[in-house]
């Protein structure tokens, strides 16, 4: 008799990366394209995912930020429910901070990270502080996103970046085929004491190998 791990050995890898996960990964996870570390999407542990998440730095000093949007199916019109979105970013010093007890990809991504699961309207939102750019480098401030679809497809999306960032090059802000579709350059507006921005996502848009 063959066990499920004999049939699908990648599931064993996922469970080792995510010990204690009470929400099982898809039965047929499939990495679309090339992405080092995209399996971090499965590290949400036993938490119950909702459409909104607040990252651990939100109450720290710094520019508060709310990002929200709608995830659409590949047709660009139908809201996509049940999509898991993972985000992580640097702190106000431009580094990925750790507390010293991290496991898995948190040892590299740090603890400023969160997971959301879109609702029936395809809605998601997260609250955090606007990150700082890497010190001594020419990359603009950014937030990394990864998505997981209910059928098991998972892949990275174009980073969230911010209009007006002096490190944001025109050619980068005008990428012709950004993964996840256009809109990755945010235009935050000040509202009720925080920066507010929106980004919609189209599943599979400009993702090589997507089907």
Work out the percent of the chain whose per-residue pLDDT is above 90.
86
Residue 74 neighbours by CB under 8 Å, 6+ apart = 202, 203, 204, 205, 210
The H or E element spanning position 108 is helix 106-109
Residue 2 has pLDDT above 70, yes or no: no
Q: What is the pLDDT of residues 90-105, one digit of tens each?
A: 999 999 999 999 999 9
Residue 129 has pLDDT above 90, yes or no: yes
**Which tokens sit at 208?**
């090589």
Q: Where are the domains of the chain?
A: 4-202
d(CA 51, CA 186): 20
**3-class SS at 12?**
helix
Residue 151 has pLDDT above 80, yes or no: yes
pLDDT band at 21 (very low <50, low <70, confident <90, very high): very low
| Closest alpha carbon to 102 in 88, 116, 92 | 88
pLDDT at 26: 74
**3-class SS at 173?**
helix
d(CA 24, CA 44): 10
Mean pLDDT for 130-156 is 97
Q: What CATH number does domain 4-202 carry, 2.60.130.10, 3.30.930.10, 3.90.79.10, 3.40.50.2300?
A: 2.60.130.10
Mean pLDDT for 50-60 is 97
**3-class SS at 38?**
helix
pLDDT at 1: 38
149 vs 1, more confident: 149
């Amino acid at each position: 008799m063959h066990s499920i791990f004999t049939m699908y050995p990648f599931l064993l890898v996922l469970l080792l990366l995510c010990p204690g996960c009470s929400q099982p990964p898809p039965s047929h996870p499939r990495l679309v394209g090339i992405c080092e570390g995209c399996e971090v999407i499965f590290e949400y542990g036993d938490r119950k995912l909702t459409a909104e998440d607040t990252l651990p730095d939100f109450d720290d000093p710094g520019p508060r930020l709310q990002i929200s949007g709608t995830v659409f199916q590949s047709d660009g019109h139908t809201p996509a429910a049940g999509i898991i979105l993972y985000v992580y970013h640097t702190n106000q010093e431009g580094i990925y901070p750790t507390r010293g007890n991290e496991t898995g990809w948190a040892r590299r991504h740090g603890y400023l990270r969160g997971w959301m699961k879109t609702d029936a309207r395809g809605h998601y939102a997260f609250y955090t502080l606007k990150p700082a750019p890497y010190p001594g480098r020419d990359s603009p401030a950014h937030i990394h996103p990864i998505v997981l679809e209910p059928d098991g497809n998972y892949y990275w999306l174009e980073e969230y970046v911010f209009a007006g960032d002096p490190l944001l090059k025109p050619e980068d802000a005008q990428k012709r085929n950004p993964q996840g579709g256009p809109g990755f350059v945010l235009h935050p507006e000040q509202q009720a004491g925080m920066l507010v921005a929106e980004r919609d996502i189209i599943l599979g848009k400009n993702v090589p190998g997507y089907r």
